[in-house]
Amino acid sequence: MMIKSKKSNDTHWMVRFILLQIAFLLVLNSLIVAMKIHNLTREIFLCSLFVILYICFSIAFLKIFKRSSNKKIKIKYKNESGEKPEYWSYHDILTGLPNRSYFENIIPIKLSEAQLMNHKVTVLFIGLDNFKKINDTLGHAIGDSIIKEVAKRLFSSNDESYETIRFGGDEFVIVMSGHKNLSEIEKSIKKIKQAFMAGFDVNKEKIHLTASLGYAVYPEQAQEWKKLLQYADIAMYHAKSSGKNAVMMFHHDMCKD
C-alpha cells in the first residue's frame, strides 16, 4: 500500500492569518492612541503603518505562492494503479514518498517561510546501517519490503508539517520546520530515531536495523539549501564512522577531516 501525502496545513495558516489581522488592528489602535498622547507626527505614523502592512501582505503573498507551488508538485492519488505521470516525477515508486526532485522544489519554500516567520529549518539525513548486507544475504525483495516499512515508520513518526523524502537506496531525508530552538529539534529527532527501535518481521524472524542520522540547521549552519543538504550528509557519515546507530549535528570541524 502506498503512502499518501499528509493533509495540508491550510487551516493552521488561516488561523495564523486571522490572528495576524487581529494583531494588526491592535497595533494600529495603539499607534493612534500613541499619536494622540505623544503628538507623533503624521510621517512617523504613516511609516509605522506602512511597515505593518508590508509584513501582512508579505505573509499573505507567501501563502499564495506556497499553495501555487504545492499544486504543481503535490498531485493526489486517484487510485494506486492510475496515477498521473507528473506524480511519479516527484515521488518514489517503491515507497510512495516524495523524492529528491520534490525536495529540491519544496526546500526553498521552507526556507522562505522560516525567514519570514523567524523559525528554524532542519535537514535530517538518515542512512540505514549495514543495509547492503541485508540485500546480499536475504535478497533484494526482502530489502525492498524493509525499505517500505522504514518509510511508513518515518512518515508516521514525525509532525504533519515535516517532509519525509526517500533520497534513494537506503537513504532518507526529513525536512523539519517550525522549531524555535535546538532543544525542540533534538526532541523531534529523538522521536524519529525511535522508529528503528522495534525490529522488522521478515520470514517469521525479527531483523534489528539501526540508522545513522546527521542534521544541519538553518540559519545556524547554513542559509542556502544545497549547503544544508551537504552538511547534513557529512554529519550522517560522521555518525556512521563513529560506530553507527548515532545522531550527529553538523559542525564545521567535520569539513577538516
Active site residues: 170
CA distance 72 to 154: 24
Count of CB atoms situated within 10 Å of the CB of 228:
26
Copy the grid coordinates of residue 163: 517532509
Sheet holding 163-168, edge to edge: 163-168, 171-179, 120-128, 211-218, 247-249
Q: State the virtual CA torsion across 186, 187, 193, 199 in degrees, nearest 10.
A: 160
206 and 240 in contact (C-beta within 8 Å)?
no
Contacts 24+ apart (CB under 8 A), 71-74: 72/105, 73/102, 73/105, 73/106, 74/5
230: which residues sit within 8 A by CB, 6+ positions away?
none
Bond preceding residue 219 cis, omega within 30 of 0: yes
